[in-house]
């Protein structure tokens, strides 16, 4: 074994040692680099967010109503007699004052002629008694006639005038009864079938109802509202059945026909009963509705949709964003730093797929509408920015739960 090394040999051994140490350091560094745990970015839950909107919300109520004619008049015989003729076609349109029926006139014409003759007789008597009075007065001034003669002449003249007045009244009554034998339509509208046959005795001792006339170019829709509806309307300062010029809207109704189609015309509420029926707890409401084509028939039932109020500039959110539990309803709000915040809200009326929020949230805030099942308060989220991401978030939300869930 060599105990002593030359300078050159020592130098070479030193270089080999340095190289070995360097190699070991490189191996250790590579090992550390390769085995060092990599930083993994957390996967943020993908959600769909929408801004809280502001709308003018129309509040409706649905009721069951009945259509009736604006005017419904019974045509009756006012004098007694045999029905001679009918001057209309049943079920057709008749005009006001159009002749409908004619009752036997002979009796009433004779009565009118008799009253007219009596009036001529009394008129002649008035002339006679006036001439007698004119002759008696000068004689009385000359003391050629007594006071009794004068009084008798005056009384006879006044009685003649009174008798003529009675005769005139009898003639007027007889002519009026004669006019009643011609039965005319009291209004323009559609007439029903006749209720009596020709030749039948009609009038006070017989059947007086001859037909009915309905004015149906404008109809009335009657429906009932509850006392709760009334209280809610008063809370909104809305008086049902009264127009308010200070409002930008007026209470109107639409109706649904028997085939579930919507009637094209709208009606205006013009009356509400001032008292509640204690038996039903409701009060009657009336709306006038145009009916130019006679689509609506008096007596039919229909569904009524009434405009109760218009909430102007109301805060609205989609119903699919709501989460309802025993403590109330809440939504997830995305803050500016994308952190989820649970916000309890007070709900108002629903309309369509949206709901009015009374308080708890302000317009413009971003709320989660899809994917909130993946959130907890304080977690960071990633809002979907592309259509593909929105479809993925909506698909995932649909697999987990319905759009509005209720937690026990």
CATH code for position 381: 2.40.420.20
pLDDT at 290: 92
Q: Quick check: is 381 in a domain?
A: yes
pLDDT at 37 over 70: no
248 plus 183 within the same structural domain? no
CA distance 268 to 274: 18
Same domain, yes or no: 110 and 186? yes
| Residue 273 pLDDT greater than 70, yes or no | yes
Reported as a pLDDT band with limits 50, 70 and 90, residue 385 is confident
pLDDT value of residue 38:
59
Q: What pLDDT shows up at residue 407?
A: 45
Indicate if the pLDDT at residue 222 is higher than 90.
yes
pLDDT at 159: 94
Q: Are residues 236 and 298 in the same domain?
A: yes
CB 266, CB 234: distance < 8 Å: no
User: 367 and 281, same structural domain?
Assistant: no
Q: Considering the entire predicted model, what is its pTM? A: 0.62
**Same structural domain for residues 270 and 339?**
no
- Which domain-ending residue is among 296, 312, 328? 312
* Domain final residue, candidates 312, 345, 372: 312
Q: Assess if residue 12 is contained within a domain.
A: no
The residue from 175, 200, 225 where one domain ends is 200
Tell me the pLDDT band of 398, cut-offs 50, 70 and 90.
low
Do 303 and 325 belong to one domain?
Answer: no
pLDDT confidence of residue 396: 62
Distances in Å between the alpha carbon of 216 and those of 23, 69, 212, 305? 108, 5, 12, 21
Q: Rounded CA gap, 61 and 105, in Å?
A: 57
Most confident of 39-43, 102-106, 239-243, 352-356: 102-106
What pLDDT band is residue 402 in, cutting at 50, 70 and 90?
Answer: very low
Q: Does the pLDDT of residue 246 top 60, yes or no?
A: yes
Residue 134 belongs to a domain? yes
Q: Domains in the chain: how many in total?
A: 3
Selected residue with higher pLDDT from 371 and 191: 191
Q: Residue 238 and residue 61: Cα distance in Å, rounded?
A: 14
Average pLDDT over residues 152-161: 92
CATH number for the domain that contains residue 224: 2.40.30.170
* Residue 214, CA distances (Å) to 75, 93, 267 in order: 11, 9, 19
Same domain, 92 and 192: yes
Rounded Cα–Cα distance for residues 381 and 242 (Å): 52
pLDDT in tens, 70-96: 888 999 999 999 999 999 999 899 999
- Whether 244 and 294 map to the same domain: the answer is yes
Residues 193, 83: one domain?
A: yes
pLDDT score for 21:
76
Q: What is the residue-averaged pLDDT of the chain? A: 85
The confidence score (pLDDT) of residue 166 equals 95
Task: Tell me: do 176 and 223 sit in the same domain.
Answer: no
User: Is the CB of residue 211 less than 8 Å from the CB of residue 194?
Assistant: yes
Domain boundaries, position 296: 59-69+213-312
Check if the beta carbon of residue 256 is closer than 8 Å to that of residue 303.
Answer: yes
Residues 267 and 252: beta-carbon distance below 8 Å? yes
Q: Is residue 24 part of a domain?
A: no
pLDDT band at 316 (very low <50, low <70, confident <90, very high): very high
pLDDT at 240 over 50: yes
């Amino acid at each position: 074994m060599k105990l002593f090394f030359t300078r050159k040999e020592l130098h070479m051994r030193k270089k080999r040692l340095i190289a070995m140490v360097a190699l070991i350091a490189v191996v250790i560094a590579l090992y550390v680099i390769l085995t060092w745990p990599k930083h993994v970015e957390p996967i943020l839950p993908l959600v769909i967010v929408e801004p809280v909107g502001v709308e003018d919300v129309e509040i409706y109520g649905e009721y069951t109503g009945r259509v009736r004619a604006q005017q419904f008049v019974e045509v009756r015989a006012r004098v007694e007699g045999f029905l001679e003729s009918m001057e209309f076609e049943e079920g057709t349109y008749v005009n006001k004052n159009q002749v409908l029926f004619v009752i036997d006139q002979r009796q009433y014409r004779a009565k009118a002629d008799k009253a007219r003759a009596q009036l001529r007789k009394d008129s002649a008597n008035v002339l006679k008694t006036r001439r007698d009075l004119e002759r008696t007065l000068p004689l009385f001034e000359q003391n050629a006639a007594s006071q009794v003669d004068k009084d008798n002449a005056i009384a006879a003249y006044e009685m003649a005038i009174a008798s003529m007045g009675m005769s005139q009244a009898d003639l007027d009554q007889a002519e009026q009864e004669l006019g009643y034998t011609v039965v005319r339509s009291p209004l323009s509208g559609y007439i029903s079938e006749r209720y009596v046959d020709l030749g039948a005795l009609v009038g006070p001792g017989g059947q007086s109802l001859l037909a009915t006339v309905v004015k149906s170019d404008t109809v009335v829709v009657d429906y009932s509202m509850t006392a709760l509806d009334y209280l809610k309307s008063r809370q909104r300062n809305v008086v049902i059945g009264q127009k308010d010029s200070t409002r930008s809207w007026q209470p109107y109704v639409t109706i649904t026909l028997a085939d579930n189609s919507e009637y094209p015309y709208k009606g205006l509420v013009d009356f509400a009963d001032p008292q509640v029926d204690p038996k039903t707890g409701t009060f009657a409401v009336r709306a006038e509705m145009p009916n130019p084509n006679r689509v609506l028939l008096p007596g039919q039932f229909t569904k009524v949709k009434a405009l109760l109020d218009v909430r102007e500039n109301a805060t609205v959110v989609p119903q699919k964003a709501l989460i309802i539990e025993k403590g109330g309803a809440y939504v997830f709000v995305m803050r500016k730093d994308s952190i989820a915040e649970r916000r309890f809200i007070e709900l108002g009326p629903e309309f369509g797929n949206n709901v009015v929020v009374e308080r708890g949230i302000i317009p413009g805030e971003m709320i989660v509408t899809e994917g909130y099942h993946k959130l907890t308060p304080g977690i960071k989220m990633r809002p979907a920015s592309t259509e593909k991401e929105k479809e993925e978030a909506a698909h995932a939300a649909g697999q987990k739960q319905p759009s509005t869930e209720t937690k026990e």
